[in-house]
Amino acid sequence: MRARGQGQAVPGPLFTNPLDVKLADPCMIRAGGTYYLYATASMPEDADQGMPVWSSQDLVRWQCHGWAFRKTSNGWGTHWFWGPDVHRFGDAYLMHYGAFRKADGKAVGRICVARSASPLGPFTDVKAPMFEWTGRGDAIDAFVFEEAGGAAILYFTDAWNGRNTIWGARLTADRLSLAEAPKLLLEPNQPWEVEPVNEGAHVWKHGSTYCMMFSINDFRNPAYAMGFATAPAPMGPWSKRTEGPVIRQAPGLPGPGCAGLIASPDGKETWAYMHVHLHPDGNARQLALSRARLTTTPGGQADLRIEPLTVAPQPAPSGAPARREPRSDAFGGDALDRSLWTIVDESAEHWRKEPGRVVVTALDGDMWKQRCDYRNLFLQGPAAGDFEVGIEVEAALQGNYEQCFIIAWQDAGNYVRLGMVHADGPKFSTAIELNGVYEELITPNSLGSKVGLRLVRRGDLWSFVVGAGGRWTPVGASREARLALPRIGFGAVAPGTKRPYAATFRNFTVARNAK
């Protein structure tokens, strides 16, 4: 069950999982007070092009900066750019990552290394591949652990004939080569490892103990989760916690995997970050967070406890600044107010800010049912209590399913949307999706291609209103939908036609407790 959106008693900033960052295999670092997030791109076609990067001040609200690394015509990797791991090294940043290319008609995966002067990139290859891995499988899922004295160890996954195991080797001083032959460190051997998969190592040191989180089972299996192991030295021997995974799937959040740890903005809390699946089939992976606690057992062993994942509203990481309340925006000036607006899965070349308006070039994509490939979703919030939100939109829709809309958004499986849509002619669409179950009412649009759209919330009851020339008309009956901490905003999509039409948005308005 999704949490109710009303009557939350927890003070301070709140957030809900999953976060609006579409990714897989996340890696986080912090530099100069800013968090940077790198990942495998969520969509397969994007993962064939490179790996994206985001930044944040609070671990919750992320801004996409496009590609951290993008393939080149003369690079070794040609597709499947996976699992980046970024660390500061000297006056630059190194990214160890997995990439594939065809060899003798077969896709071959290897670890590569790229460098950038900035955490935002662009990263360019300095050694690709990093080492040969003949006689085994694909080398993927790189992670570099740095000892206090500066020596570093590379951990990676060997994916061989359906069995994934974790290996390690010390690195040369420049971190571009192996200083020794890799050693097998971890392999599936527990009852809760129902498939032969150990992968995606994340290593740290707690006291005198070395600790490792790792993914278990196939990512599409309901038993996909994170294990925990400890060792007296970075190369082992490693011992798994036998009581079971340290983090498992939860209602509404299947598939937690490839997790890491990072400190809260004030350094007082430890947080686990990971990808989860929007749908149980393993597709549309997104970012999620959960509080973690590192302790030492009475026997002197390091232990890790991660709070169960939840979709319910929960306090944001400690030290996170309070988020601005939603507010009206006439889109004045030349730049979008980024302190108000987050653009989910931003494609910067497909929208522009002009004085008094935002113009979005629609792309193929949607948040309908199993789809999660929308781009440029503009959001403010979250918005609490009763409110009325509106916007003016103008677009010449021509092909079926082309749509520009106003939306109250929890995630891609939970939202309320009012749009101007083409469905064998000009129509209005009032849509509600809850827990992935989609309901829609289509009504005629006699107002033309330039209309006003309004969503009205009273408790868990939503009303839909359209207008032109100062006259407003309800569309359909009010409907109930419980959303947790909904954010409000707008967007445009062109699923099916893929036609890059322009949708112009003006005068975003927010009214509290409107009657």
Residue 189 has pLDDT above 70, yes or no: yes
Number of domains within the chain: 2
Percent of the chain with pLDDT over 90: 84
Please choose, from the candidates 59, 13, 63, 56, the residue with its C-alpha nearest in 3D space to the C-alpha of residue 322.
13
Residue 283 has pLDDT above 80, yes or no: no
| Pairwise CA distance, residues 431 & 423, whole Å | 14
Q: If you average pLDDT over every residue of the chain, what do you get?
A: 93
Please check whether residue 396 lies inside any domain of the structure.
yes
Confidence of residue 2 (pLDDT cuts 50, 70, 90): very low
Whether residues 278 and 424 share a domain: the answer is no
Residue 460 has pLDDT above 70, yes or no: yes
Please choose, from the candidates 497, 260, 281, the residue with its C-alpha nearest in 3D space to the C-alpha of residue 372.
281
The amino acid sitting at 21 is: V
Whether residues 358 and 310 share a domain: the answer is no
Confidence of residue 174 (pLDDT cuts 50, 70, 90): very high
Q: What is the DSSP string of 286-317?
A: EEEEEEEEEEE-TTS-EEEEEPPP-SS-EEPP
Q: Cβ(12)–Cβ(313) under 8 Å?
A: no
What tokens appear for 335 in the block? Answer: 């730049």
Q: What is the DSSP letter of 3?
A: P
Please check whether residue 324 lies inside any domain of the structure.
no
pLDDT tens track for 95-126: 999 999 998 889 999 999 999 999 999 999 99
Please check whether residue 271 lies inside any domain of the structure.
yes
| Pairwise CA distance, residues 270 & 217, whole Å | 25
In the Cβ-directed half-sphere of 291, how many Cα atoms lie within 13 Å? 12
Whether residues 365 and 251 share a domain: the answer is no
Which whole number is the average pLDDT over 280-289?
83
pLDDT of residue 370: 83
Which whole number is the average pLDDT over 454-473?
96
| Pairwise CA distance, residues 32 & 34, whole Å | 6
Whether residues 207 and 304 share a domain: the answer is yes
CATH number at residue 67: 2.115.10.20
CATH number at residue 435: 2.60.120.200
pLDDT of residue 7: 36
Whether residues 60 and 132 share a domain: the answer is yes
Min mean pLDDT across 37-46, 236-245, 272-281, 503-512 is at 272-281
Whether residues 249 and 355 share a domain: the answer is no
Selected residue with higher pLDDT from 274 and 322: 274
pLDDT of residue 16: 94
Please choose, from the candidates 231, 226, 220, the residue with its C-alpha nearest in 3D space to the C-alpha of residue 248.
226
What tokens appear for 460 in the block? Answer: 């868990």
Which whole number is the average pLDDT over 434-448?
94
Please check whether residue 355 lies inside any domain of the structure.
yes
Selected residue with higher pLDDT from 415 and 219: 415
pLDDT tens track for 388-419: 999 999 999 999 999 999 999 999 989 999 99
Confidence of residue 146 (pLDDT cuts 50, 70, 90): very high
| Pairwise CA distance, residues 325 & 494, whole Å | 30
Residue 9 has pLDDT above 80, yes or no: no
Confidence of residue 8 (pLDDT cuts 50, 70, 90): very low
> What are residue 420's phi and psi, to 5 degrees?
-90, 125
| Pairwise CA distance, residues 37 & 60, whole Å | 11
| Pairwise CA distance, residues 50 & 61, whole Å | 23
In the Cβ-directed half-sphere of 219, how many Cα atoms lie within 13 Å? 20
Residue 6 has pLDDT above 60, yes or no: no
pLDDT tens track for 488-499: 999 999 998 999
| Pairwise CA distance, residues 39 & 53, whole Å | 7
Whether residues 226 and 281 share a domain: the answer is yes
Selected residue with higher pLDDT from 335 and 301: 335
pLDDT of residue 240: 96
The amino acid sitting at 313 is: P
Please check whether residue 336 lies inside any domain of the structure.
no
What tokens appear for 390 in the block? Answer: 């509106």
Please check whether residue 132 lies inside any domain of the structure.
yes
Whether residues 262 and 389 share a domain: the answer is no
Whether residues 127 and 212 share a domain: the answer is yes
What tokens appear for 291 in the block? Answer: 């509080």
Whether residues 219 and 299 share a domain: the answer is yes
Confidence of residue 299 (pLDDT cuts 50, 70, 90): confident
Please choose, from the candidates 500, 118, 125, 123, the residue with its C-alpha nearest in 3D space to the C-alpha of residue 347.
500
| Pairwise CA distance, residues 142 & 225, whole Å | 19
Which whole number is the average pLDDT over 195-211?
96
Residue with tokens 């000036």: 333
Whether residues 39 and 105 share a domain: the answer is yes
b or e along 459-480 (b: 16 or more beta carbons within 10 Å of the residue's beta carbon)? eeebbbbbebeeeeeebeeebe
Q: Please name the residues in contact with 136: beta carbons below 8 A apart, sequence gap of 6 or more.
A: 158, 160
The gap between the terminal CA atoms of the chain, to the nearest Å, is 30
pLDDT tens track for 11-57: 578 999 999 999 999 999 999 999 999 999 988 889 999 999 999 99
Residue 382 preceded by cis peptide, ω within 30: yes
Q: Which domain holds residue 462?
A: 342-512
In the Cβ-directed half-sphere of 174, how many Cα atoms lie within 13 Å? 8
Last residue of a domain, one of 315, 333, 356: 315
In the Cβ-directed half-sphere of 124, how many Cα atoms lie within 13 Å? 4
| Pairwise CA distance, residues 229 & 233, whole Å | 12
Which whole number is the average pLDDT over 172-190?
97
Whether residues 221 and 110 share a domain: the answer is yes
Please check whether residue 325 lies inside any domain of the structure.
no
pLDDT of residue 282: 67
> If DSSP codes are grouped into helix, strand and coil, which group holds residue 54?
strand
> What are residue 69's phi and psi, to 5 degrees?
-135, 135
C-alpha distances (whole Å) from 487 to each of 331, 337, 389, 418 are 18, 16, 11, 14
Which whole number is the average pLDDT over 224-229?
96
Please check whether residue 326 lies inside any domain of the structure.
no
Selected residue with higher pLDDT from 412 and 3: 412
Q: Please name the residues in contact with 37: beta carbons below 8 A apart, sequence gap of 6 or more.
A: 21, 23, 26, 27, 28, 53, 54, 55, 56, 62, 287
CA angle centred on 454, ends 452 and 455, rounded to 5°: 160
Q: Cβ(459)–Cβ(6) under 8 Å?
A: yes
